[in-house]
Structure 1
Amino acid sequence: MRKILWTSIAVVVLAGAAAGYVHRAAHRNDAAAAAAEAVDISPGPKLLVRSTADGAMGHLAVVSAADPRGPRKTSAVSCNRVYAAAGTAICLRPDGPLATYQIAVLGPHLQELDSYPMVGVPNRARVSADGRLVTWTAFVTGDSYNGGQFSTRVGVLDTRTGDLLVDTLESFALTRDGRPYQAADVNYWGITFARDDTTFYATMSTAGHRYLVRGDLTARTVRTLAENVECPSLSPDGTRIAFKQAVDGDPVKGWRPAVLDLATPHPTTLAETRSVDDQIAWLDDHTVMYALHRDADHADVWSLPADGGGAPALLVPDAESPAHLS
């Protein structure tokens, strides 16, 4: 089963060429491996980020959670998107010179544990709290959620077995507003996992509407919970979803960060007036963090109280794609 699924993906991504690049990716030179050893992503009071600093663009770095604007350790490993938990990281990165991409699973010292060809252009990445499951979203057509002319593909991998649990969520049974639903325009993106490694949340779009959905990896089912919810992120205590919501329901107008208590139907809009096009992460149970771009290449990570009060604060300059490693 595993071989069949991964072979089907490799065929889509230039077949033998992609397989060749994956083989080479699994045998990085010793110098790069030694450089990676200096950066430790095992659990602790620290943040993993993707650097956007000149001279270290795209490289993974770790900063102290107590002093996130202070010194950082920067690795030789680079990614387009990254996330980590429990000493496991997912790195979405280019795969050779053919404008293709790959999914790399990294260990506590950013050493490569495995890699796979990827369909599409990297966009979102998450890891379950215990490090077992990794997920990614890629644009298959289009390059933005803004405007609606795009198609996405979501995958979920079990890092312990190497099995591809989800190749496309479109194969799951979908219930919308309490009724079974099927449509050719259904898209999913931005998975976040609950601690049971079975329940997940994601965004589903269809017929011009975007929904928060709850899914079950074992039952292979998905059902809608709320509208105008994109790129969800489950809080550490499992009770709330941080997300971006389109202004007036229209992504062309931008997004504002918000938090939804899963026990209530009404979200809390957070105190950020700039447009946040990111899968928001949790710094702790009371604080969220997200990237804001200064230009096409440079970004900073900001933090914000999750209760709707306070004001945005610069957390990590010249960085994006943050993950709290505690």
Structure 2
Amino acid sequence: MTRTARLLVLLSAVVLLGAVGTGAVLYGADRADRKDQEQVGGPPVRPGEIGLGGGRGQLLFRNLAWGPHRDEVVSVPAGEPGGVRTSSGLKCLRFHAAAGTGVCLEAVHGALDDTYRAVVLDERLRERRTLPAAGIPSRARVSPSGRFAAWTVFVSGDSYAGSNFSTRTSIVDTRDWHFESSLEDFTVLRDGRPLRASDINVWGVTFADDDRTFYATVATGGQTYLARGDLAARTLSTLHQNVECPSLSPDGTRVAYKKRVPGASPDAPWRLYVLDLATMTETATTEQRNIDDQALWSDGSTLVYSLPGEYGADLWTVPADGSGAPATLAVSAVAPAYLR
């Protein structure tokens, strides 16, 4: 074989190897790209339109399954919570909605640090007003009428389990945009007398249907209380001890909440209870795991709450009257809202 022929063979081999290498890289990149586009850890998700006004019988939540729609607000039929999810494209850390109004707590990613904001949404999930959120989002609620939205953030610390944390809870009136930036400015009444303390924290708002009354947790002196709030009088009146993250039943007679129980781990201290507001009688649910969430009533007898899951969190249900057993509602999901 001549020298020229040998050079041609060598050149052909180099070209062939290069083509094979390039093909392998492109094939791997294509597979990785397709994998990134797949929903992992939950039912399929398809993009679409979600409405808050006429979509009765829908369950909305933040989708946590890995894929292109992770962290987006999705919708499923309330009767088919494990079905195909319709994604709005809206990303929220916390979300809630009622009567055509939504609130989305968002992260704004900066070059050096993240900041947060609360976005009030209309029935088509379009932005109506953006308001400041002073820290890491924790809780969000919209009143049954859709008039008021509330949210709680951590301004220091990132867990309710210990005592080294501080929260900020805000409420906005979506009719006139009157903004209460901190419920700690309300007068706290204990046994009917004003409580003056420098360590008051307020979190976990839940609204009654009269557009005036709400309930929240008030903490001071190492104790937590269920407090009834009055938006017109700007007061918070303590009612019952050892109540955190209350959730008012649809008929306004009971509050679901997380309660610190004796003997539990300091890192996992809470169990899910229900309080009768007329008698102040407590009922323990059959959920024996630690609940670090603000439960939601799916109807007058069932509670929905999140627990840690493979992809972040799953939604579970349990009867509110202490009967039955916990059951999985939806995997890879958090921050639910029922459109009734």
Pairing 1:133-152 to 2, within 5 Å after superposition: 133-152=148-167
1:43-82 Cα offsets, whole Å, 9 max, x none, are 4001110011111221100111111111110121100000
Structure 1: 5+ residue runs without aligned partners? 1-34
> Which runs of 5 or more structure 2 residues have no equivalent in the other structure?
1-45
What is the match of residue 48 of structure 1?
Answer: 60
Q: After superposition, what is the alpha-carbon deviation per residue over 1:283-307, rounded to whole angstroms, capped at 9, x for unaligned? A: 0001110011125x52111111110
Q: What do the CA deviations read for 1:3-28 (whole angstroms, capped 9, x no partner)?
A: xxxxxxxxxxxxxxxxxxxxxxxxxx
Q: Of the two, which has the highest radius of gyration?
A: 2
Counterpart position of 1:204 = 218
Question: Counterpart of 1:279?
Answer: 294
Contact kept? 1:41, 1:62, Cα under 8 Å: no
Measured in 2, the distance between the counterparts of 1:108 and 1:169 equals: 27
Q: Aligned with 1:258: secondary structure? A: strand
CA distance in 2, matches of 1:228, 1:252: 16
Q: CA offsets per residue over residues 181-238 of structure 1, 9 Å max, x none?
A: 1111110000111111111100011111010000101111111100110000111111
How big is each residue's C-alpha offset from its partner over 1:114-135, in whole Å with a ceiling of 9 and x where there is no partner? 2122211111000000111000
What pairs up with 1:228-247 in 2 under 5 angstroms?
228-247=242-261
Aligned residue identity for 1:265: M
Match status 1:39 vs 2:54:
no
Match of 2:12 in 1: none
Q: 1:225 aligns with which of 216, 239, 261?
A: 239
> How many Å separate the matches in 2 of 1:228 and 1:248?
11
- Where in structure 2 are the equivalents of 1:125-204 lying within 5 Å? 125-164=140-179, 166-204=180-218
Q: Matched residues in 1 for 2:115 and 2:263: separation?
A: 33
1:309 is paired with a residue whose SS is coil
The residue number in structure 2 matching 1:310 is 324
**Preserved CA contact (<8 Å) 1:125 1:134:** yes
- The equivalent residue for 1:21 is none
* CA distance in structure 2 between the partners assigned to 1:46 and 1:249 by the alignment: 39
1:114 matched to 2:114? The reply is no
**Does the 8 Å contact 2:309/2:332 carry over to 1?**
no
Letter in 1 for 2:140: A
Identity %: 49
**Shift of residue 36, structure 1, vs aligned partner:** 8.1
1:249 to partner: Cα distance: 8.5
1:36–1:77 Cα contact (<8 Å) kept = no
TM-score, normalising length: structure 1: 0.86
CA distance in 2 between partners of 1:159 and 1:95 (Å): 23
- Of 255, 261, 265, 2:276 maps to 261
Q: 1:170, 1:107 → 2: CA distance? A: 28
When normalised by structure 2's length, the TM-score is 0.82
CA contact (8 A) 1:36 1:111 kept: no
Mean alpha-carbon deviation: is it higher for 152-161 or for 178-187? 178-187
Q: Which residue of 2 aligns with 1:92?
A: 105
Q: What's the Cα RMSD here?
A: 1.6
Q: Which residue of 1 aligns with 2:16?
A: none
